[in-house]
Chain A
Amino acid sequence: MSELGALSLRFALVLAIFGIGTGIYAGISRNPQWTRVAERCLLVVAAFVGFSIAQLFYALATFDFQLVYVAQHSARSMSLAYRLAALWGGQAGSLLLWLFVLCLYSAVCVWTQRDRNRSLMPWVVAILLANSVFFLVLLCFVSDPFERLPAGHVLSDGNGLNPLLQHPVMMIHPLVLYAGLVGFAVPFAFAFAALMTGELGTNWFRTTRRSTLFAWFCLGVGILLGGRWAYEVLGWGGYWAWDPVENASFMPWLTATAYLHSVMIQEKRNMLRTWNLLLIGLTYTLCLFGTFLTRSGIVQSVHAFAQTPLFTSIFLGYVIANAGVFLIAMLARRGELHSPQRMDSMVSREASFLLNNWVFIAILMVVFWGTLFPVFSEAITGNRIAIGPKFFNTMAGPLALLLLLLAGIGPLIAWRRASMESLRRQFILPGAAGIATSAVLVVWVGKAGFYAVTAWSLCAFVVASIVQEYARAIRARTRRGEENALQALWVLLRKNQARYGGYIVHLSIVFILMGTAGSALNEERLENVAPGSEVTLNRYQLRYLTAEAIPEQHYGGAVARLALYRDEEPLTVMTPEKRMYWLEQQPASIPSVYSTWREDLYVILTAIESDGSATLKIYRNPLVNWIWIGGVTFVLGSVLILLPDPRVGHRTSAPAA
């Protein structure tokens, strides 16, 4: 059966190459019939790839251990859900998933644009298929998911999936992340098509507004899910370690967020045309580069798969070629990209957005160099080097604070040029809120230090500015007497969803940064306790009751039972585990967390010692829950922005794709 999967990938490859040819021909000849041919090619390629991935799912579901991939990444003991999730547990499967998601996006794009943008579509199809071809080549010739064991070899069971990946969050985290990374192919393709046709107006990004937002939303959620998984599974008390592959997904999110802001300036003021094209090109390049970092293993990381030099050179070549073609197209059009408008004043919303873009790029530079410096260092000097989280925190922290400040300022200043009078009227309340908060905080939690206090004060400033924006808009509507406050809020959110949904996204970032700043007050303690005795951290007492053997089938080890008290008042029994996965011979420490909106108490069982005592690592993580509250808020705000625009019906060309 699985031969069909491999075969359909080869069909898809041939057809995709043909589709690129027809797309280019249709683009040059401006022949609508050939555009249709190219579009249909793309749909059929997508169908073949869909069939192929279905084959691999089927092989995983039915224990087809003849396939090397199935044997390596699944085992009989795994439940069906995790067997299916094993598809993205290894290299070849992840590449197939990447390709499949790309095909899905491409197909949806072709379908929604079937009667629109006829001049752009041939180029869009050509570039999307060109990207597919690269992955098809990898899957057919370098990293084959349908590779079979030599004839005569029979395996009764497989290796199983890395136990750390057998977690509900890990089933969806890669999917969501890929939906984010791959999704930027659509705006990238339209930007490329705009360059090829010379239609450099606002159409290309208006058309792709929703897919860009959707990709950005998925990427953000994917990053947060990754943090959540690290916190719950990896057992080191944290959620973000500036690991190279975390950085790999964070970098495109930075440029994408910058793009979402700067594109508003182009929409309102017709400025920054070159910049926006550059940003979307850079974003997609970083998405590919991130995938490359994860899959090539050139940077040592917990995520990276070890890989062959062939794979590395092909992949790097593709990333560079893709970016190079885009840059050449930009250079060829440089005369037409000049923006007719100029900045009127540095005290204007567009100036604050521009500054925001600079800060995003600065953070990107920090993360980029921090991630890749070890690679360059080893290549040039031969010295291996490790760059710790301290580098990133010290460098990116102040920049993040600057962004927070701008998130409060931006909405308060007018487009074009803000008058002193309007500035005073807009800033007096939020500014006062920020200053009052910092005064209270210095007295109350001054020991948290300058950065944390500044961060929380800025959070208060931004929240106050958002509340003020909402209050003013609601008051303006209710004053007419036809709506009550709730109705007015609803109308606002529906009629100007980008703006008011955007504020909710800002609020989510405020929550997340507030939570991260809480780490300034983190406390930790390592203690060896005998059964019956107690360990104290801050207001908490943990009494070690007993340890029991874990009766599971796939792993063994010990679970400690710890009675948790706060100020001598019993709260709960905590059960951190020390596991050993038999099949994979891999140990794992599963933490136990007592979580409140104020702080988490997080316990890791480091070891059960030979004398029966337990060595415990205990963390008190203040405000950490706000990161996840921020995550939920992020989803709400983004969904609000992504909801179908109620005014769509009144427009001649609706945003879609």
Chain B
Amino acid sequence: MSKGTQLAGGATLIALLLGWYAMANLQDGSSFAYFQNLEDFQTQYQRDSSAMTGHLRVHGYVAMGSIDRDVPQMRVLFSVQNDPPHAGGEIGDLLPVVYGSLETPDLFKDGAEVVVEGRLAKPHAGAPMVFHADKVLAKCPSKFEAKTPQPTSL
């Protein structure tokens, strides 16, 4: 065998080992997670909600005035809508979320862009859809680059 073949063989072997290791260890969904926006999520729910049993991630925006911190029960209730509330479009169907913790991110507030992770409470048709989140990620789209200043004319 030439040196090149040996090298390629060794590299392939290592790549396969790493791949196997990744497959064996990373199948619980907390490492790779696809997320959908709320509209796709709702469409899928109407079509076939029985399949939506696993760990889910939904992207949307916190509906204005919907945040309710339920301190005695250690949870936060809020609703998610598909489009940013400041855009002024239709609100559409809201997704009620029960977040089982008081630990909300700094950027979590009315209108914030969020990804909620968790499960659907009753994944069958007809039942009101409630999302039980175990994780809430909030982000500010222009976190580090400030917006263009609004010039004031003299």
Contact = CB atoms under 8 A, between A and B. Distances in A.
B74 A528 contact: yes
B151 A155 contact: yes
Contacts of A154: 151-154
A155 B152 contact: yes
Interface-centre pick from B21, B103, B148 (highest chain A CB count, 10 A): B103
Interface in B26-75: 26, 30-35, 57, 59, 69, 71, 74
Interface in A130-178: 149-150, 152-156, 158-160, 162, 165
Contacts of B34: 383-385
A498 interface: no
A390 B21 CA distance: 13
A305 B71 contact: no
B25 interface: yes
Interface string B6-26: 000000001100100110011
Contact of B35 (A384, A398, A610): A384
A143 B34 CA distance: 34
Nearest to A366: B18
B102 A390 contact: no
Interface string B131-150: 00000000111111111110
A526 interface: yes
B146 A72 contact: yes
Given A394-B25, A587-B106, A160 B101 contact: no
Interface in A562-594: 584, 586-589
Contact-size category for A: 35 or more
Interface in A362-401: 362, 365-366, 383-388, 390-391, 394-395, 398
The 4 closest A-B pairs by CB, nearest first: A153-B151, A391-B31, A159-B146, A615-B102
A386 B35 CA distance: 8
Contacts of A159: 146-147, 149
B71 A153 contact: no
B102 A388 contact: no
20 contacts: A149-B151, A153-B152, A154-B153, A155-B149, A155-B152, A165-B144, A383-B34, A384-B59, A386-B35, A391-B32, A394-B21, A394-B22, A526-B101, A528-B74, A528-B102, A587-B106, A609-B69, A611-B71, A613-B71, A615-B71
A395 B21 CA distance: 8
A606 B104 contact: yes
A119 to B, nearest CB: 31
Contact of B102 (A91, A158, A607): A607
B145 A609 contact: no
A394 B27 CA distance: 12
A162 B151 contact: no
Contacts of B32: 385-388, 391
A238 interface: no
Given A158-B149, A394-B31, 14 more contacts: A68-B149, A72-B146, A90-B146, A155-B152, A235-B106, A387-B31, A395-B26, A526-B74, A526-B101, A586-B107, A586-B140, A587-B107, A609-B69, A611-B71
A85 interface: no
Given A386-B57, A606-B102, A153 B153 contact: yes
A304 interface: yes
Interface-centre pick from A71, A304, A384, A611 (highest chain B CB count, 10 A): A384
Nearest to A393: B31
A587 B104 CA distance: 12
A395 B22 contact: yes
A91 B151 contact: no
A71 B154 contact: no
Given A388-B30, A388-B31, A305 B102 contact: no
Contacts of A150: 151
A358 interface: yes
Contacts of B148: 68, 72
B151 A526 contact: no
A617 interface: yes
B14 A358 contact: yes
Nearest to A234: B106
Contacts of B71: 528, 609-611, 613, 615
Contacts of B74: 526, 528
A334 interface: no
Contacts of A584: 146
B26 A394 contact: yes
Contacts of A617: 103
A375 B25 CA distance: 22
B18 A365 contact: yes
Contact of B142 (A303, A306, A386, A388): A306
B33 A385 contact: yes
B35 A588 contact: no
A606 B22 contact: no
A620 interface: no
A73 interface: yes
Contacts of B59: 384
A152 B26 CA distance: 59
A112 B147 CA distance: 44
A192 to B, nearest CB: 25
Contacts of A395: 18, 21-22, 25-26
Nearest to B149: A71
Interface string A66-102: 0010011100000000000000011100000000000
A71 B104 CA distance: 32
A526 B102 contact: yes
Contact of A162 (B103, B106, B144, B149): B144
A293 B59 CA distance: 23
Contacts of B146: 72-73, 90, 159-160, 162, 584
Contact of B153 (A89, A152, A160, A610): A152
A314 interface: no
Nearest to A399: B18
Nearest to A154: B154
A302 interface: yes
A148 to B, nearest CB: 11
A362 B22 CA distance: 13
A305 B69 contact: no
Contacts of A366: 18
Contacts of B149: 68, 71-72, 149, 155, 158-159
A158 B148 CA distance: 10
Contacts of B102: 526, 528, 606-607, 609, 615
